[in-house]
Amino acid sequence: MGGVVTAVSRSAAHTFSKPNRESIRLLAGLGIEGDAHLGERVKHRSRVKRDPSQPNLRQVHLIHAELLEELRAAGFEVSPGEVGENVTTRGVDLLGLPAGARLRLGGSAVVEVTGLRDPCSQLDRFRPGLMAAVLGRGAGGNLIRKAGVMAVVLAGGEVRPGDPVRVELPPEPHRKLDWV
């Protein structure tokens, strides 16, 4: 299984949207160099308030370009990086990955998927109605979160648009992704 990186983004400030870059550098155990969420411990402000000693399971946020296309088709003006993701991919079913799946990005970077992004009200402040658009209901009425996946960096490296994404599944039995 594999795909391609279509955009990379980072922001040194705690901003909702992240500007696109020519490349980003992933640092093992920390996240993205120059990004506000870099670090071994949690950096998302709401989580820091609860417990700043938590491990940072949200070092890298990945979204599939197919979601952005779905949102545009629904009338939302949204481009890569605008909903806070660091890496936009194409051709990888990010939401269908099990916990612990590893993504090889470019020549040397490796991230491990920790869970689903839990959509928050910032989405509606960015574009009214966007939060509802990235949530759905499954056949049994269970909530489906479509706002991408979160990951930690296992091996560092430079990542650029056009780089390949290679998926490595963990040993079975696979654990379904939950929100982190």
> Which domains, from first to last, does the chain contain?
2-11+19-168 (2.40.33.20)
Give yes or no for a contact between 86 and 7, defined as CB atoms under 8 angstroms apart: no
Structure confidence at residue 106 (pLDDT): 96
Determine if the peptide bond prior to 80 is cis (ω within 30°).
no
Structure confidence at residue 1 (pLDDT): 63
DSSP letters, 149-165, are EEEEEEE-EEE-TT-EE
The H-assigned helical ranges of 87-133 are: 122-126, 130-133
Q: How far apart are CA 61 and CA 180, in angstroms?
A: 11
Q: How far apart are CA 24 and CA 78, in angstroms?
A: 21
How many other C-beta atoms are found inside a 10 Å radius of the C-beta of residue 57? 16
| % helix, strand, coil for the chain, step of 5 | 15, 35, 50
Between strands 31-32 and 60-64, the pairing is unpaired
* Tens of pLDDT, residues 118-167: 888 899 999 999 999 999 888 888 889 999 999 999 999 999 999 999 99
The H-assigned helical ranges of the chain are: 45-50, 65-73, 122-126, 130-133
Closest among 88, 92, 103, 110 to 161, alpha carbons compared: 88
Dihedral angle sign, alpha carbons of residues 32, 36, 38, 43: negative
pTM of the model: 0.95
Q: How far apart are CA 85 and CA 140, in angstroms?
A: 29
* Tens of pLDDT, residues 37-92: 999 998 877 777 888 889 999 999 999 999 999 999 999 999 999 999 999 999 99
